A and B are shown apart, each in its own frame.
Chain A
Amino acid sequence: MAHPEITAGSRPTYRRGQEVALFVPCYVDQLFPQIGRAVVTIFERLGVPLVYPEEQTCCGQPAFNSGYWEDARPVVRHFAKTFAPYPWIVVPSGSCASMCRAFFPQLEPHPEITAVGRRVYELSEFLVSVVGVTDTGARFPHRITYHDSCPARRELRALDPPRRLIRSVRDATFVELPRGEECCGFGGTFSVKLAGTSLAMGRDKVKSIVESGAEVVVSGDASCLLHVGGILQRDPALQHVRTMHLAELLIATV
């Protein structure tokens, strides 16, 4: 299957003033609302009109990944119906963007649904590769590292966009994470179904973070950060290391 990464010529061009629909993933909505608010701030600063279709719920990934395709399908249909009117859909998650772009065709190969799925972009891809913005005017005087989620790395192949955005953040020192290609071990329900393995993977990721010397781990996926941050919080020696979503970094002014 061809990878759904963005390549020149494969997409229409964003015209200034076009409305963009914001998709806030269910777990971000419920647990990390500040990430959604940060995206709103970024778009306001850039002058890109953003709407939040209030009918939205979830992309269907949790049930799809757990094998419950019959339960996931109506949710995907609801997603497609909600977002059908919008030419551009942006989501602050590589995992959800990958569900929409790469996995809708496997779950529900209906042309109208896959067409909506193809219009979904992860936040950094949208800013850098679609709108052409690499500087959001942020300032963040800390040593930071970036964790690529597996869907962002391997399905969307969006390694460059977040780095270009981070490099424009004033006063920030960016270091690459050692063994960055290794999964952090979250994996949705994998994190509780094979909790021992998930934790072992997460602890190794934490070791890499410590090795990098970063004070802040940034990622485009809050689900990885939920897992890695949860492990960091448990260790009294590591509580100085913080997690932060890319959207929050891009509005930082301190």
Chain B
Amino acid sequence: MELSMQAKLATFGMPFDIGATAGLAEPNAPPVVAASAARAAHSKAIASERIPQWEAWRETAHRIKAWTIAHLDRLLVQFEEQVTARGGKVLWAEDAAQANAIILDIAQGKGVRTVVKAKSMATEEIGLNHALADAGIRSMETDLGEYIVQLAGQRPTHIIGPAMHMSAAEIGKLFAEKLGTAYTESPENLIAEARKRLRQDYLDAQLGISGVNFGVAETGTIVVVENEGNGGLSMAAPSVHVAVTGIEKLLPRMADVPVFLNLLARSGTGQALSTYTHFIQGPESPRELYVILLDNGRTRILADRASRQSLYCIRCGACLNVCPVYRRAGGWAYGWVYPGPIGAVTTPHLVPLELSGELPFASSLCGACQEACPVKIDIPHQLLHLRHEAVTRPSPMRSLGERLTWRLWSWAMRGPRRYRLLGWLGLRVALPLARRSPWKPGKPGKWLRAWERGRDLPEVPAQSFKAWWRSRTP
């Protein structure tokens, strides 16, 4: 399991490699990411400001999710019973390997050669396309953004806009190169080309795979939202539908769904409602429906009280769009499937801290994510909690030098005389020494160098406030 994660990260690149670059890493996102994210954040702001009860909706959604996650054990069983009663089949997968094995088993049992896929982060998470390809099954992404990144052999940079990092011109070049079509950067023509090609795939495919936006425990309903119509075709054209969902995606009752649909579309794209909202209640005979309930580390999050709220996430992408670090670093910098603030608090639970320990530090703790989150996840608190984990458990952020520095700092901050001594040592001894020492990555002075690379430090004043206060009150 861990090895395969390592292999995965080796393929995708390490996230925010703070150690190797000594704090000098440049943000590396294509400029189009920042512009697209800012545009999406702006649309969301306009859409939510139109709703006077927006804050009440957020609070309601937060509480429904809190209740759901607290009663997940019962709700999952109820969901399974309801799906089964309507003729669907529920399968439980503990991890990515098991989920892929289950899906391969279904596909191979039916002699499937072509799969059409609606957009799904859960299947990105388990690396399903690789598993299908290894088994010789052709898997076609049908969401336009996913189609583009699949064609380019890349990973999505955003959970809502997978190809957010590419301009229309780049997509035009990609289509010309990979599909042999005449170069065009007109979005209409590019969309028409993708649609034409995908039509045949829907007809050829024997299996359709989708994610799930909400699973309703009360009725066993699967709710899937989309804007392109590709989701509906992927789920309905082939005779077998496999829906993959994280176990946290449940809602207790059908009556809970509307507030989430209202929040999701507005937060993700600024739409009042997604173009299509599918409610799937069991298969229509002779068609078949399989629902894969995926754990893959989620029960570990459930067990960690301080992290539990990250399970409330409805994958709208609003926190990515407002995040100043995401805008400048782009999605790939986060190294795994879930980028941005929600990725920084989720990934460290899903892959070992040795590989993801830097993520909670990829934030200025500005709190824009929490403010944007439609279900009010306390992301900054979770980042802090995970920073604590990352420096106390094996991770790239654990460093003896830093540990000793904070130990000394802590000792000094427990009394005014020690405090004065540390201030003197820091500003009058260490600072001038660090300025003079030849700089090497990873050596003392690296942080001063990182600071002074683009910023001046102020002159150190002759007298601290403390000293001034003492001098005026004899």
User: Cβ of A33: which chain B residues have Cβ within 8 Å of it?
Assistant: 461, 463-465, 467-468
List the A side residues contacting B468 at CB < 8 Å.
Answer: 33, 36-37
Chain A residues in 8 Å Cβ range of B466: 24, 29, 54
| Count, chain A residues at interface, CB 8 A | 71
Residues facing B in A35-69 (CB within 8 A) are 35-37, 40, 52, 54-58, 60, 62-69
How far in angstroms is the closest Cβ of chain B from A40? 8
Chain A residues contacting B25 (CB-CB under 8 Å) are 194-197
Q: Tell me which residues across on chain A come within 8 A of B362, comparing CB atoms.
A: 194, 197
Interfacial residues of chain A within 1-49, with CB under 8 A of chain B in the complex: 1, 24, 26, 28-37, 40
In the complex, B440 has a CB within 8 A of chain A: no
Decide: A191 near B451, CB < 8 A? Known: A56-B416, A150-B365. yes
Q: Are B450 and A192 in contact (CB under 8 A)?
A: yes
Select one of B384, B392, B407, B447 contacting A64, CB under 8 A.
B384
Decide: B413 and A68 in contact? CB cutoff 8 A. Answer: no
Closest to B376 in A: A1
Give B18's nearest chain A residue, CB to CB: A193
Decide if A231 is an interface residue (CB 8 Å cutoff): yes
Known: A67-B390, A196-B25. A183 touches B361 (CB 8 A): no
**Set of chain B residues within 8 Å of A234, measured between Cβ atoms:** 454-456
Q: Is B451 within 8 A of A74, CB to CB?
A: no
Contact status B414-A187, CB under 8 Å: no
With a cutoff of 8 Å between Cβ atoms, the chain B residues found around residue A181 in the complex are 368
A200 at interface (Cβ–Cβ under 8 A)?
yes
From the candidates B328, B378, B403, B406, name the one contacting A197 in the complex (CB within 8 A). Answer: B328
Is B23 among interface residues, defined by CB-CB distance under 8 A?
yes
**In the complex the two chains form, is A68's CB within 8 Å of B406's CB?**
yes
**Of listed B447, B465, B466, residue having the most chain A CB within 10 A:** B465
- Min C-beta distance of B399 to chain A, whole Å: 11
CB under 8 Å from chain A, chain B span 436-469? 446-447, 450-451, 453-458, 460-461, 463-469
Are the C-beta atoms of A154 and B419 separated by less than 8 Å?
no
Closest to A226 in B: B458
A198, B392: Cα distance in complex, Å = 25
A78 contacts B by Cβ under 8 Å? yes
B232 lies within 8 A of chain A by Cβ = no
* A 197-239 to B, binary, CB cutoff 8 A, 1 in contact else 0: 1111111000000000000000000000011011101100000
A155 within 8 A of B: yes
Query: Chain B residues with Cβ under 8 A from A185's Cβ?
Result: 324, 364
Name the contact of B391 in the complex, choosing from A68, A196, A200 (C-beta under 8 A): A68
Once bound together, how far apart are the Cα atoms of A201 and B426, in whole Å?
Answer: 27
Cα distance, A193 to B455, chains bound together (Å): 14
Closest to B423 in A: A30
Contact of A72 with B by CB under 8 A: yes
Q: Report the 8 A-B pairs with minimum CB-CB distance, sorted nearest first.
A: A187-B364, A230-B455, A67-B387, A183-B366, A71-B410, A36-B465, A195-B450, A67-B391
Identify 26 residue pairs between A and B in the complex whose beta-carbon atoms are under 8 Å apart, listed by A's number.
A26-B419, A30-B426, A31-B461, A33-B468, A36-B465, A54-B416, A57-B416, A67-B391, A68-B410, A74-B414, A75-B410, A106-B385, A154-B367, A182-B324, A183-B364, A185-B364, A190-B363, A192-B450, A196-B27, A199-B454, A226-B457, A226-B458, A230-B456, A230-B457, A231-B454, A233-B455
